[in-house]
Chains A and B, each alone.
Chain A
Amino acid sequence: MTAGTILFYDGTFNGFLTCIFSAFEQKLEVNGIYTEATPQENIFAEPLNISTNSEKAERVIIGLKKKISNDSYRQLYFAFLSELEGIEMLLFQYINLVFKEENFSSKDFGHPIVLKINQTSKKVSREKHRMEAFVRFQLTKDDIFFATIEPDFNVLPVILKHFESRYSDQKWIIYDLKRNLGLFYNLQETSYINFNFKSKDHLDPSNSSIYSTSEIGFQKLWREYFESTNIKSRKNMKLHLQHVPKRYWKYLTEKSTWQN
């Protein structure tokens, strides 16, 4: 009796799809799929390192797209970006359904796995929208609009398009501090970048060795606007917190704690 196989991959979507490919090709009894960094717990299972192969990944994508709509495929991808513990196995089961169930539908919301994938992708989608709303750029000395974020899920790949098309005539950087990865748009194209922040200087918008001298002025104007636009007789903090949960306040110029 075997205890099945545990797959390790590099954490990328292509890597994950390569796992799927290998699982099907070698008819593996998969017991777990983990990123390389996760320590192994099940000592009985066979560990197998899967190296990312974009051709294999592409073949899985083509296979999936024959079976499900673009929308459903997008859901699957979004659910993957959640990075939730165990999401890989859940997706593996989901993909099994796609390929093996005669009349599979991603709208079969009575099925627990289908519903779970749908709900997870919704969560990621909500985080994507929040980031599109809550990113606050600060203008640097060298004319780059710079923002940092720490999203719950890995949304950089899916907010890229929105910012590229909206801010196509200015250079910008959106940096995910949690995952130490950023997007840099240089007026032509967007690429991924890594920084080594040596100090916390980038957090202080009045630091004139980094930021434009007018930056702090506009931030003050925005705060002024935000305060003037509030209607005291309608104050409703419960609703307010529902819309802007406290953990997002750190992004918001109008909510930040620095004074004057």
Chain B
Amino acid sequence: MSFERIKEKLNILADAAKYDISCSSSGSKRANKGGLGNSDGVGICHSYTEDGRCVSLLKILLTNHCIFDCAYCVTRKSNDIKRAAFKVQEVVDLTMNFYRRNYIEGLFLSSGIFNSPDTTMERLVQVAKKLRLEENFNGYIHLKSIPGASDELMQEAGLYADRLSVNIEIPTISGLKLLAPDKKHEDFIKPMEAVKNAIQIYQSEKKIIKSTPKYALAGQSTQMIVGATGESDRDVMYSAAYYYKKYKMKRVYYSGYIPVANDSRLPALGSPVPLLRENRLYQTDWLLRFYGFDIRELLNNENQNLDLDIDPKLSWALRNRELFPLDINKADKLLLARVPGIGLKSVYKIIEARKFRKLNWEHLKKIGIAYNRARYFITCDSNSFEKRDLSSLQIKGLILQNSNSKFRKDYSSQLNLFSS
């Protein structure tokens, strides 16, 4: 293998793939039966980039040649950049050698559409097939579904890949028309539908025949770019809630748009990435999936965008003061989880610990709740609790005063942007 040549390709094709933030490698259980590797349900981050993202997969494009011209994409046809293409065997060798050294959990392979969608998808499937059948590789494989690829290919892809994903890229249909005129919304939806159906068929057959092959064990996920087309947080999160439900998505990822082109339809090159907004979207997503919130409680006609200065749970609590304060020693689990500053781990510990004694502030602090936020919303076995009759605005002020948010700097600079 010629290291110099591969190095150059890797440089180009890893660079082009990095804007896709979906690096989750969890949710799959693939035991090792005599071959190499396993994927044990908890994805391991083997390293972190300097921007703080987890590195768990070798994430590359097979090629960055593309016949399409989507405005938001570095790989678009009209962009004047260096192009390269890996051979199937090269990707296989790289994956195996990185995996054996414990650098990665597996492979995340995507591609520019260098020919027809089917030819492209077929090449991706070949890589996965080789890894599984020839190299006996049991690590994690995530393939991008190429929009427009046939159902048969998607079927085959699912036999070798743990996860398949399509990027929605742009959360609203009008936004998609504006920025990727040659792509159709149906093209994104079709592979999702095919994967969802296949997963269901395999699951029901599995009940009858034990030896049914495993199909896309970790399910499918999708990604949306935010901040490219002026969509509201409500637009984004309602689409997300829809995909979770309709296509049984395992994860939806939100990726703050990183300007890669000077195009009058898009934020200019050099505009800051909306990191704080992205963070708030993830927090909201989390509240949906694990805390039992309904999206309409968090975002609705009156509240179309998330507050940037405080987290979504706190915003919600401040709008629903009539539910508080809760008695920590009595409140139901689901309600405890709704208290700002109390995460799921603390909920669990509180529920267990209060079986043995009434909990006071000392106990709660040791257990690890965020006292500064939670104190306005709870009472416990102690006489010192907030007795003043504070308005929501006052509480917010007090909390912000006492916190040093890691985003404070971003927050003020983004505020300036919004007001200009």
Q: A220 near B: Cβ within 8 Å?
A: yes
- Which of B99-107, B181-189, B286-294 contacts its partner? B99-107
| Interface mask (A204-246 → B, CB under 8 Å = 1, otherwise 0) | 0000000000100110111011101111111111111011100
B37 in the interface, Cβ–Cβ < 8 Å?
yes
Chain B 243-265 per-residue mask, 1 if CB under 8 angstroms from chain A, else 0? 00000000000000010000000
Residues of A within 8 A of B48 (CB): 239-240, 243-244
A203 located at the interface, meaning its Cβ lies under 8 Å from any Cβ of chain B in the complex: no
Which B residues are CB-close (under 8 A) to A135? 102
Asked if B273 is at the interface (CB within 8 A of a chain A CB), the reply is: yes
Cβ–Cβ < 8 Å partners of A109 in chain B: 349, 352-353, 363, 366-367
Contact of B38 with A166 in the complex, beta carbons under 8 Å: yes
Chain B nearest Cβ from A214, distance in angstroms? 8
Q: Which of B52-60, B167-175, B301-309, B388-396 contacts A (4 or more CB under 8 A)?
A: B52-60
**Is residue B98 within 8 Å, beta carbon to beta carbon, of the partner chain?**
yes
A77 in contact (CB, < 8 A)? no
Q: How far is the CB of B10 from chain A (nearest CB, A)?
A: 5
Q: Which residues of A contact B17 (CB under 8 A)?
A: 229
1/0 per residue, CB under 8 A from A, across B1-15: the answer is 101001100110011
List residues of chain A with CB within 8 A of the CB of B367.
109, 115
- Render A131-168 as a binary contact track against B, CB cut-off 8 A, 1 for contact: 01111111100000101000000000000001001111
Q: How far is the CA of A240 from the CA of B355 in the complex (A)?
A: 39
Asked if B213 CB lies within 8 Å of chain A CBs, one says no
How long is the Cα–Cα vector from A129 to B6 in the complex, in angstroms?
31
Query: Quick one: which of A110, A226, A254, A255 has the most chain B CB within 10 A?
Result: A110
Nearest Cβ distance between residue A149 and chain B, in whole angstroms?
11
B217 an interface residue at 8 Å Cβ cutoff? no
A97 to chain B, nearest CB (A): 12
Q: Chain A residue with minimal CB distance to B15?
A: A228
Q: Given A243-B48, A244-B48, answer yes or no on A231-B18 (Cβ-Cβ < 8 Å).
A: yes
Inter-subunit contact B103/A230 (CB<8 Å): no
B241 to chain A, nearest CB (A): 26
B85 at the interface (CB under 8 A from A): no
- Is residue A200 within 8 Å, beta carbon to beta carbon, of the partner chain? no
- B52-A231 in contact (CB<8A): no
A105 adjacent to chain B (CB < 8 Å) = yes
Q: Is B47 an interface residue (CB 8 A)?
A: yes
Q: Which residues of A contact B53 (CB under 8 A)?
A: 231, 234
Chain B, 355-386, CB within 8 A of any chain A CB: 355-357, 359, 363, 366-367
State the CA gap A68–B102 with chains docked (Å): 35
Residue of B nearest to A105 (CB): B356
Does A198 sit within 8 A of B, measured CB to CB? no
A222 to B37, CA, bound (A): 19
Contact of A87 with B by CB under 8 A: no
The answer to whether A169 has its CB under 8 Å from any CB of chain B is yes
| Separation of A165 and B48 alpha carbons in the complex (Å) | 24
Would A231 and B258 be within 8 Å (CB), given that A107-B353, A108-B353, A220-B3 are in contact? Answer: yes
Distance from B288 Cβ to chain A, minimum over Cβ atoms (Å): 24
Interface residues of B, Cβ cutoff 8 Å to A? 1, 3, 6-7, 10-11, 14-15, 17-19, 31-32, 34-38, 40, 44-55, 58-60, 94, 97-98, 100-103, 136, 258, 272-273, 275, 349, 352-353, 355-357, 359, 363, 366-367, 406
Chain A residues close to B by CB (< 8 Å): 103, 105, 107-111, 115, 129, 132-139, 145, 147, 162, 165-170, 214, 217-218, 220-222, 224-226, 228-240, 242-244, 252-255
Starting from the known contacts A169-B34, A221-B94, A222-B101, 5 additional A-B residue pairs (CB-CB under 8 Å) come to A105-B356, A108-B352, A136-B101, A221-B6, A226-B47
